[in-house]
Structures are given as C-alpha cells and as structure tokens.
Amino acid sequence: MKRQILSLSLIMSIAMIMFSACNDDDVKVETLAPATYTDSNGLALTYSGMEMLGKQASFTPDAQDPSKATLTLSGVELQSKSGLGGATGVIPGMSTLTLALNDLKVENGQISFEGTENINSVAISYKGSASSSNMNLDLTVTMPQNELVGKTFTLAAPADWTTTPIYVDWQADPFPLGDSGSWEIQGAISMILSMAKIEEKTIPQMLTGVLNEITFLADGNIQATYKDALTDTEWKTSPLNLAMYTVSNGKVNVFLNLAQIAKISGADLQPILDMIEGFISGVNLGAGIPLAYTLNEQNGMNIYLDTEFLLPILKTVKPYFEDEALVNSIVELLKSQAGEMGPLVEVFLKPVLVAFPNIVDTTTKVELGLSLVMKE
C-alpha cells in the first residue's frame, strides 16, 4: 500500500512539473506582447545578410494560441512638414509587411521562428528570435521578374556634343540671346554640359569619373560602383539597402532608405529635408521616386524624371528667378567660380536665368536623368 501511495505521489509530482513547465512557456510568449522593436529599441534587422536600418517590427501573439503570432514590419518616418521624409517599407513597394508566425519555439524566455511567404509574387524567407527587450530578424527576398532585374548598366561615355551620360529632353519656346538672336533651352543645356568645366573637367566627365556601374539586383536592391573623389584609383561597391526599386507600368520606383544613407554618409539628413521640402512639397519618398525609363535596340537605357514629376517643381522655383537682384547675384557667384570660363557665364548662362520664368511657362515636355549602356 505504501508503495502504491509513493508511486501515485511520484506520478502526480511529475505531472505537476510538466504542467507548470507548459504554463511557463505560455507565459513567456505572452510577456512579449504587444512589443515594437526599432533601431533604438532592440531591433537587429538584416536584409540579404546585410544590416537594414530605419525600420520597425511589431510583434503580436495570438490571444487564443500561444504558438502563433503576427509580425508587422514597416519603416520609421523622419519627421518633415511636407511628408517628404515618408518612411519606406522593408520590402520595396510594401509600406507594411505582415507575416503570420506559426510554431513559435520558446526557450529561456526567448522565442524563435522561421518560415516563408509569397506575397504578390515576392518570395520571402525569414528567420528570427525575440525576447522582451530585443529582436533579431533575417530576411531573404526575391522580387518578381522584370526587364531590368539582374542587369548592370554603365554611364554613356561623354564625347563632346555627340554622347553624354546626362539625358535631357526639354521642349519650350525659344528665348532671346543677345540683341537679335534666340536660343532654345535644350541647346543651352547641351552647350553648358559640354563646355562648362570644373578643375578642367566637364560635368559629364566628372559624373563618369565618380559613378561607374548601376546594377538592379534580384532582391530589389540597386547597387553601384563609385569613387568618393575623382583622384581615387579604385572603384568601391555601395552597401546594400541604401536604395531599392520596383518596376511597373514603364517606371522604376526608387525607394531611398534615409536612415541607412545618414549612417553611411555620417550626415544629418533632417536639415537637408527641411531645406528642399519647399521645392518638392507633397512628394512622399515613402511611396518611391518615380523614374520613367526607355530601352533601345543598342542595349542602352534612358532613365529619368519625367514632365509629370519635374514641371510642378519648376513652377515652384520659378518665382525666385523673377527677382532680378537674385539672378544677378547668382551670375556673379558663378562667374567667380568659373575661372577662365567666367565670360561665358555672362554671355550664355545669364540669358537662360533671365528667361527661366518664360521657359517654365511654355514648357511642354521636360525629362532629366541618365543615359546608360547595358554591360555585356
């Protein structure tokens, strides 16, 4: 009889220990909710194996099933009066991403999870862990196929008037040049680009001297090879997660990760946003910068801001050029920096600045961007 009582007591004790352990796991999951993690609040996020900043992750466990939870990923917005600093999501084109987490594993007060999702043809693989104070999350993403993914482009080599890496198509009424002549803004810009020099290099030469290649990666990243200065001898490869893209309806939408750019450059971007927001008020970087593009049979591509985007900005800055004193001060500043090219500023550039309000009023088309050549 004593043996039976002892055995029964032992079984009950084991059962109570197991029951307590199961309950303890449930409590550990529940104590994580609701929790939101950011760069400054415990979030360590990687995308394609590289750090990604400026995002937040909100963890919400299922109230009915402690083995399940929901993870919502989004961007952290930089504050700006006009909304210019709108936050970009983790995956380009998705302002928010919601993942249904199943089969949560709990150990020592920390949960772990992993899985895959396919959302709008975007393949997502994730793996992470979280406690009440931090979350580690790794994402691997493959974007849908498009005609740019996997391709690398170089800038078109500048050659006097014939080719340039800067693409411009600006159609507007001619404006006065001298006492009896006239000029068109398209020709004016072409001449300025080919003749104006800084340290013996034209603007196109300087551009190709610091920017070499642009690659559209399968994970949605845009990666470039570049130099910090013209005097550098070797090209660098830009880090991931600075700029990302989607392709749809004949446009490339570019999403800038301002937090990531600020860390890499060491710059405080908020004053820059405050300075330029008056010129492009209402443009939400969180929705992406829309760039039109055209491919040609010679494996080339023009990628550019189009009339729909640029003309409202030109109309915003037009009043500044109606101030004669301001125009004269700009001309004098440019002359002082142009060296031996100073006289050309007075003869050719000043008429453009003086005529700028009328150029804007008569503009029917304006496109500005880059001319690229596909790398074989």
Measured CA to CA, the distance from residue 118 to residue 318 in angstroms comes to 47
Note the pLDDT tens digit of each residue in 272-314.
Answer: 666 666 556 666 777 889 999 999 877 889 999 999 999 998 9
Within 10 angstroms of residue 289's Cβ, the number of other Cβ atoms is 18
Whole-Å CA distances, 330 to 192, 320, 345, 350, 356: 16, 11, 10, 9, 13
pLDDT confidence tier of residue 94, bands split at 50, 70 and 90: very high
Return the pLDDT at 43. 96
Return the pLDDT at 333. 83
The runs of H, that is alpha helices, within the chain are 2-30, 185-195, 203-210, 258-265, 269-276, 307-317, 324-338, 342-344, 350-361
Measured CA to CA, the distance from residue 268 to residue 248 in angstroms comes to 32
Locus of tokens 């009440």: 132
pTM of the model: 0.84
Return the pLDDT at 29. 42
Lowest mean pLDDT among 176-180, 268-272, 280-284: 280-284
CB contact at 8 A, 171 and 365: yes
Measured CA to CA, the distance from residue 88 to residue 25 in angstroms comes to 35
Average pLDDT over residues 144-149: 94
Edge-to-edge strand ranges of the sheet holding 35-38? 35-38, 55-61, 69-75, 96-101
Return the pLDDT at 147. 92
Measured CA to CA, the distance from residue 111 to residue 66 in angstroms comes to 11
SS3 371: strand
Measured CA to CA, the distance from residue 29 to residue 296 in angstroms comes to 56
Cβ contacts of 115 within 8 Å, gap of 6 or more: 99, 101, 102, 125, 126
Per DSSP, what are the bridge partners of residue 323?
Answer: none
Note the pLDDT tens digit of each residue in 186-220.
Answer: 988 888 887 777 777 888 888 999 999 999 999 99
Measured CA to CA, the distance from residue 105 to residue 334 in angstroms comes to 65
Measured CA to CA, the distance from residue 315 to residue 210 in angstroms comes to 31
CB contact at 8 A, 214 and 139: no
Note the pLDDT tens digit of each residue in 317-368.
Answer: 899 999 999 999 988 887 776 677 777 778 888 899 999 999 999 999 999 9
